[in-house]
Amino acid sequence: MATAPDLYLGIMSGTSLDGIDVALTDFKEGKPQLLASHYQPYPRTLKDVLLELHQPGFDELHRAQLASIALARAYADAALTLLNKVGIPPHHIQAIGCHGQTIRHRPEQGYTVQLGNAALLAELTGIHVVSDFRSRDIAAGGQGAPLVPAFHDMMLRHPTIHRAILNLGGIANLTDLKPGLGTTGFDTGPGNLLMDSWISKHKGCPYDKNGEWAASGTIIQVLLQRMLDEPYFSSPPPKSTGRDLFNPAWLENQLDGTESPADIQATLLALTCDSIADAAERFCAGVEELYVCGGGAHNSALISLLQRRLPGCLIRKTDALGIPADWMEAVAFAWLARQAMTLHPGNLPAATGASHPCVLGAIYPA
């Protein structure tokens, strides 16, 4: 008799603030099978509100709650659009794993904040919702991030080949899958975040397609070194970061005002590349294969420079491992929802620094 589907939705909206990824995933065979996906961009007004909420401001608690409601409605619309597209009714879905939109990440202070009204999302979709994945790990002494290394550990290990998984979102993170050793993972620093912000300011584009604008400039070595002197880069894992540190104000503080905008873009690309390569050499020594996911996987200039920095390592997209680069994180949050619903741990203490494995997420029944 055929095994019944075990369907979950993963919803991810990351540091890049570009929009919503939804992945319909079937776990009936144990490993995830991506059945369908949907991307829905944020309206410009919502993106602007979210960017403003990253910094303290007038009446921010009220504005954050209104943004959470708007996000829940956008998440629900994206989820139901996908289900309508494939003809699957909501009651066939076990749960939604929704990361929410991070506007504060301060594990050193004991908290993290992701917006997205999970109760409203459950109400609008009629599906159980699991959200707030980071807080339990932080309560156990961890960073609350990165969360995907546990998923990579379960799904992407090779028994004899030393692999690492690189997620190139707004922030970049590495998962080290060395045979015979425990999996580790950490945020390396900026991924696309600063490059996206800089080209948006100067060109009005949401991102630098294929790194073309960066490729037109020249790396400013003194600026690159000044940025690499940021203490975060030399601190050992476990560690995580976000817009609280790496933001436009941080970048402006590195500049003297004489630099060409294209040269700054080239230098920001080099910053992302060098911080990743340095971290890989230091903390994933001997890595043989690097599989890349996230939006930055399509930045050919970045991948080319990274390959030159890591000449002995095969660099490919995670598509080669069966999970498309654009949908890795959304599939991971479907998996995290399943872990929560079945009361299995979802964190990896070696990656986050938590004192023990934890069941992650708050469950909002439909």
Q: Are 237 and 312 in the same domain?
A: yes
Q: Are 168 and 314 in the same domain?
A: yes
Q: Which residues share a beta bridge with 351? A: none
| DSSP annotation string for 116-169 | --HHHHHHHH-S-EEE--HHHHHHTTS-----HHHHHHHHS--SSS-EEEEEES
Q: Confirm whether 1 is domain-assigned.
A: no
Q: Are 282 and 311 in the same domain?
A: yes
Q: Are 174 and 252 in the same domain?
A: yes
Report residue 177: phi and psi, to 5°: -115, 70
Q: Are 109 and 138 in the same domain?
A: yes
Please say whether the beta carbons of 9 and 82 come within 8 A: yes
Instruction: Give the whole-angstrom CA distance, residue 293 versus residue 329.
Output: 8
Q: Confirm whether 305 is domain-assigned.
A: yes
Q: Are 53 and 197 in the same domain?
A: no
Q: Reading across the β-sheet that carries 129-131, which strands appear in turn?
A: 31-41, 19-29, 7-12, 93-98, 129-131, 362-364
Q: Where a domain ends, among 302, 321, 340?
A: 321
- Give the structural domain span for 238: 157-321
Residue tagged 């029944």 (tokens): 365
Mark the ranges of the chain whose per-residue pLDDT is less than 70: 1-3
CATH number of the domain to which 258 belongs = 3.30.420.40
Distances, alpha carbon 114 to alpha carbons 41, 50, 229, 308, 312, in Å: 18, 11, 29, 36, 39
Q: Convert the pLDDT of each residue in 213-272 to its tens digit.
A: 999 999 999 999 999 999 999 999 999 999 999 999 999 999 999 999 999 999 999 999
Q: Confirm whether 152 is domain-assigned.
A: no
Q: Confirm whether 55 is domain-assigned.
A: yes
Distances, alpha carbon 303 to alpha carbons 85, 189, 194, 250, 276, in Å: 34, 16, 17, 25, 11
Q: Are 136 and 240 in the same domain?
A: no
Please say whether the beta carbons of 337 and 322 come within 8 A: no
Q: Are 131 and 183 in the same domain?
A: no
Per-residue confidence (pLDDT) for residue 30, from 0 to 100: 83
Q: Confirm whether 2 is domain-assigned.
A: no
Residue tagged 């020249």 (tokens): 218
Helix, strand or coil, per DSSP, at residue 329: helix
Per-residue confidence (pLDDT) for residue 319, from 0 to 100: 97
Q: Confirm whether 188 is domain-assigned.
A: yes
Q: Confirm whether 83 is domain-assigned.
A: yes
Residue 129 sits at the vertex; the CA angle it makes with 174 and 297, to the nearest 5 degrees, is 25
Q: Are 112 and 222 in the same domain?
A: no
Helix axes 261-283 and 193-203, enclosed angle (nearest 10): 170
Q: Are 162 and 311 in the same domain?
A: yes
Please say whether the beta carbons of 262 and 217 come within 8 A: yes
Q: Which residues share a beta bridge with 113? A: 104
Half-sphere exposure of 294 (CA within 13 A, CB side): 25
Please say whether the beta carbons of 223 and 267 come within 8 A: yes
Residue tagged 């975060």 (tokens): 232
Centre a 10 Å sphere on the Cβ of residue 234 and count the other Cβ atoms it contains: 11
Helices (H), the chain: 44-53, 60-86, 118-125, 134-139, 148-155, 193-203, 212-216, 221-228, 231-234, 248-252, 261-283, 300-309, 328-341, 349-352
Q: Confirm whether 295 is domain-assigned.
A: yes
Q: Are 167 and 284 in the same domain?
A: yes
Q: How many domains does the chain have?
A: 2
Q: Are 270 and 347 in the same domain?
A: no
Model pTM score? 0.94
Per-residue confidence (pLDDT) for residue 2, from 0 to 100: 57
